[in-house]
Structure 1
Amino acid sequence: MRLIWIGCLLLAGLLPVQAQKKQHKDTRREQLSDSALLTLVQQRTFNYFWKFAHPVSGLAPERTVTPDTVTIGGSGFGVMSILVGIERGFITREQGLDRLLKIVNFLFTANHYHGIWPHWMNGATGQTIPFSRKDDGGDVVESAFMFQGLLCVRQYFTGSSEKETVLRNKITWLWNEAEWSWYTRDGQPVLYWHWSPNNGWSMNHPIHGYNECLIAYILAVASPTYPASPKIYHEGWAMSNYFKNGKKYYGMKLPLGFDYGGPLFFAHYSFLGLDPRGLKDRYADYWEQNRNHTLINRQYCIENPKKYKGYSADCWGLTASDSYQFYDAHSPTNDLGVITPTAALSSFPYTPEYSMQALKYFYYKVGDHLWGEYGFYDAFSESRNWFDYQYLAIDQGPIVVMIENYRSGLLWKLFMSCPEIQAGLKKLEFTSPAIQ
C-alpha cells in the first residue's frame, strides 16, 4: 500500500523534509454554477496530464518538482483523464488520439519485467528509476492502474481509421503480454507486488486486502493470456487480519478494511474504471463499502476529536498526500491535521452534495492559498498555516476521472464494457448490473 511508499520517497530524495509555506493574497472569486465549477476543476486538473506531461513520452511526472521522473500508476490515471478532456472539449479527439499513441508507443519500448512496468521510469529513455534499493523491477499494482486506463482507451477509440486501429491493437498487445501469473511467485495463491531481475522476490510483499489493490487482482484473473487462478483472490487477497470489518462507525457499517476505513484513496484507485454501483461479491457490496467509507471519513472530520482548525462539514477529506513534514497516509487513525482535496473531490460519485460543499470551501474560502495552475495543490493544514506548493499525479488523476464518473459514468462504462473484464468478474463470482 501507499503506507510503504513514504520511507522510500524520503530516501529517494523526492520529498522535502519540511515543505514550504506559500504566502498568497486572498482574492474574491466570481460565483460559478455548480456545473461550471466542476468543469473548471476538471479542466485545470486535466492540464497536469496535458500541459505538464513529459515532452518525449507523454507520461505524467510523479510530481511537479520531478519533471523527468514519470510514474506508471499516475500516468494510468492520466490516460483516463485524456478521455475526459476529449469528451469535455478541452482538446479535440485527434489531439487526444495523437497523445495516446505517443504514450503507447513509448510504453512498448520502455523497460518492463515480464510485461509489467516499474513504478518510476525516466520520461525520456524509458529506463527504470528505482523506487527503493531493491524495488528496481516490475510493480504489479502501478501497472494495474495503467492497464485499467489503457483498457478504457481501447474501448473508447472504436473507429475504423488507421490510427485508432493501431492504438487498439497495440493496447491489446501490451495487455496480452503482461504475465500476471508470474507475479504469483511460482503459483502461490496470492499476488506479489514486486519482482526484479537484480533482486528477485527479495521485496517479499504479498498483497493482502483490503486496500487499493483490488484492481490488480481483477486484472490478473481477467488476463486472456497469463491469467492467475481465482484462488489468489479468495486465498490471498481476502485473507488478512484487516480484510473483513463489519463494525459500525458513527452508525455506518463498514464491510471491509481498517478501522474507520483507512485513507480515502482505497475508495478511488481501483474504482476509476471498476463500477461500484451494484457491484457485489461474497465479501461486500462495494457501493456500500465506498460510500460508507467516505461518510465515516467526513463525519470524523466533523467530530474533529483533535480540534484541528478548519475541520468541518465544509472542510473534510483524509487520504495519502504531502504533509507539512513528509508524505503520509492520512486517515482518522493517522490524523495530522492535513486536509487533501483529492479525498473529497474524488468521492463525488459517493457523496455528491458533501463533495460539492467541500469543493466550494476549497475554491471560494481557501482560495489562492490552494488554487494554482493545475487546480488544487496537494494538501493543506489550517492549524499550521501550511499550504502545499506541489501537485502529485496520483492525486490529480482521480479528481478528473471520478468527477466525470459522477457526471456521466464515462470511465465506468468503458472499463466494464471490456469482454475480458466481464469474464474475469464472473470467474470471481461478482455480480453487477454492468455484467452481461
Structure 2
Amino acid sequence: MKTILFYITLTVVLTGISLSTFALTARRTTYNPDLTIKKGLTDQQLLDLVEKQTFQYFWDGAEPNSGLARERYHVDGDYLLNDKDVVATGASGFGVMAIVAAIDRHYITRKQGFDRLQKAVNFLAKADRFHGAWPHWLYGETGKVKPFGKNDDGGDLVETAYLAQGLLCVRQYFKNGNTAEQKLSSQIDKLWKEIDWNWYRNGGKNVLYWHWSPNVGWQMNFPVIGYNECLIMYIMAAASPTHGIPAEVYHEGWAKNGGISTDFKMYGYQIKLKHNTPQNQVGPLFWSQYSYLGLCPKGLTDRYANYWNEVKNHTLIQRAYCIENPKHFKGYGADCWGLTASYSVNGYAGHSTYDDLGVITPTAALSSYPYTPKFSMQVIRHLYEDLGHKVWGKYGFYDAFSETDNWYPKRYLGIDQGPIAVMIENGRSGLLWKLFMSCPEVKAGLKKLDYKSTFLTKK
C-alpha cells in the first residue's frame, strides 16, 4: 500500500522537480516580526508566541489573490520561478482553521478574519473542481489546476478532505453571526455538499480512490486503505448529507475487513491499528495529526481502536526512539524528537523510526502538543531558547533541520506549519475540535460508522 510519502517522492522523480532547489520569488510583505529570542517566557507566553508567529504563514504569507496557503515559502532562496502563486488545498484547510484560532485569540479582528475567509471561499467556489473535489494544487491567480504529477491533474480526495474539514470549522464558527457571516456559512455549506465522495468509489467499489482525472480517469489507481493519514477522508465521506458513502466502504476498504487490526508494543506502548509500514512499526507522526485537526480523538472509539490511545502512543513511541537514538544522531533526546514527512538533507523524505535520516521536523513534536503537552513543551523551549535563530524565523520554526549534517535551511512548507498552529490551539482550548465535532452531519457520519464519542452525546 502506497502512502502520500511514496506518492510525493514518485511525483518528484517523474516530474523532475527537486524539492530542495526552489528559489524564493514570493512577494515581499510588510510583516516585520520581532525575532529577538526572549529567554524566561512562561509556557503560556511561549505557546502564544509560537502559535501567533506560525499563524502568520497563512496570513502575511498567504497567496495574495486567493488568500489561501502557499505550498511553500523559502527565506533562503532557490525557489522555482513559477511556484510563488501555487496554492496547496490541504494546507489551505489547515490554514483556515489557523485563521479561526487567530480570531479567537485576538491576533486579528473578527472582521479581518472574516474578510480573508470570505475571499478564500469566493476563490474556492470558482476554482477548478472535479466532481466537487479540488485538486492538490491550484494556481492562486487563476484558480486553475496545477498538475501534481503526470497523471494527477484532477480531483484529489484526500487534500479535499483536509480542506473540507477546515471549511466546516469556519462554517460552525460564523453560523450564528451577523448576516454576512451567516451568508459565508451558507456558501461553505454549498461547497461541502457539492463534493461527490461517492464518485470516488471508482464505479461503486467498497473503497475510496485518492484521484480522478478528466483526462486519464482512474489511471493513478490509488485505492486508499488504512492505516495512514487519510482517516478523515472516510469520516467526511460518511458524513456527507448529499453524496455519502455506506458504512461498508469504510469497513471493507479502509479497515480491510478487519485487517487494519493488530496488537503489538514498541518501547512498552501498545498499538492496535496496523500502520502501512514494515511489520510492527509505526509511520511518520503526521499520520496521527492531519486527520485529527478537527476530528477529536479524545474518547473516540470504534470496533478497531481507542483513537486517543493510538495517537498518544504513536507519539510516545517516537519520543522513546529518539531518546534511545540507535543511530547516534547528534542532538536527539528528550528535548529534541519528532520524525515526520518534511524537507530532508537530500530533497524530501518521510522520516520515521524505520526510516530515520537524522532530520528533526519541528511540526512532529509541536503538533503533538494535545497528546503530550509536557514533552512537546520541552521541545518547543529547546528549539526556541537553545537553537534559536538556527530554527526560528518570521513564520515560526523552519520546516526541518539536522544537527548531524549541520543543515539548517530557512524554509517552510504549508502542510507542516498548519498543524502546529491548529494543534497548539486544540491543546490550549480545544477550539477546532469543538467546532468540527459540533457539525450535525459529522455526528451522523460517525454514528453510521459505529463510532463512539463523548461529542455524540452532546446536543
1-structure distance, mates of 2:366, 2:127: 33
Is 2:256 the partner of 1:254?
Answer: no
Q: What is the distance in 2 between the residues matched to 1:254 and 1:270?
A: 18
1:170 is the counterpart of 2:187: yes
Which position in structure 2 is the counterpart of 1:343?
364
Say which SS state the counterpart of residue 287 (structure 1) adopts.
helix
2:151 is matched with 134
5 Å-filtered alignment, 1:32-181, equals 32-64=41-73, 65=79, 66-181=83-198
> 2: CA distance between counterparts of 1:19 and 1:301?
30
1:372 — aligned with what?
393
Secondary structure of the corresponding residue to residue 386 of structure 1: coil
Counterparts of 2:381 and 2:360, CA distance in 1: 14
* Distance (Å, rounded) in 1 between the aligned partners of 2:284 and 2:232: 17
Q: Please give the alpha-carbon distance, in whole angstroms, between the structure 1 residues aligned to 2:107 and 2:371.
A: 25
CA contact (8 A) 2:57 2:395 kept: yes
CA contact (8 A) 1:208 1:240 kept: no
Between 1 and 2, higher relative CO (CA 8 Å, sep ≥ 6) is seen in 1
SS of 1:322 mapped into structure 2:
strand
Residues 403/242 of structure 1: CA separation in 2 closer, same or farther (3 Å cut)? farther
Separation of aligned partners in 2, 1:309 and 1:160: 51
Deviation at 1:334, TM superposition (A): 0.4
Separation of aligned partners in 1, 2:397 and 2:258: 36
Q: Which region of structure 1 is more displaced relative to structure 2, 327-336 or 252-261?
A: 252-261
Native 8 Å contact 2:15 2:150 kept in 1: no
Give the equivalent residue in structure 1 for 2:433: 412
Name the stretch that deviates more: 201-210 or 387-396. Answer: 387-396
Conservation of the 8 A alpha-carbon contact between 1:260 and 1:296: no
- Seen in structure 2, the aligned counterparts of structure 1 residues 38 and 13 have a Cα distance that, compared at 3 Å, is farther
Identity of aligned residues (%): 56
Paired residue secondary structure (2:72) = coil
Q: Which residue of 2 aligns with 1:324?
A: 345
- SS, match of residue 245 in structure 1: strand
Deviation at 1:10, TM superposition (A): 5.0
Q: Deviations over 1:306-350 (max 9, x none)?
A: 000000011000000000101110000000000000000000011
- Tell me, yes or no, if the aligned pair for 2:14 and 2:150 is still in contact at 8 Å: no
Q: Distance in 1 between matches of 2:392 and 2:445?
A: 41
- Name the TM-score, length of structure 2 as normaliser: 0.91
Q: What letter matches 1:207 in structure 2?
A: V
The alignment status of 1:7 with 2:10, answered yes or no, reads yes
Q: What are structure 2's unaligned runs of at least 5 residues? A: 24-34, 74-78
Q: Could you tell me which of 173, 178, 202 is aligned with 1:185?
A: 202
SS class of match (1:246)? strand
2:422 counterpart of 1:401: yes
Question: Which ranges in structure 1 are unaligned for 5 or more consecutive residues?
Answer: 21-25
Deviates more, 1:255-264 or 1:209-218: 255-264
- Number of aligned residue pairs: 431
- Say if 2:58 and 2:98, in contact at 8 Å, map to a contact too: yes
User: Partner of 1:23 in structure 2?
Assistant: none
Letter in 2 for 1:5: I
Distance 1:160 1:372, change over 3 A: closer
| Residue 11 of structure 1: how far off its partner (Å) | 4.4
Out of 352, 359, 362, the residue aligned to residue 373 of structure 2 is 352
Does structure 2 retain, via aligned residues, the 8 Å contact 1:318–1:340?
yes
Cα drift, residue 159 of structure 1: 3.2
Matched, 1:288 2:290: no
The 1-side partners of 2:17 and 2:54 are apart by 22
2:411 to 371, 383, 390: 390
Post-superposition Cα deviations, 1:172-223, rounded to whole Å, max 9, x if no partner, equal 0001111000000111000000000000000000000000100000110110
CA contact (8 A) 1:46 1:400 kept: yes
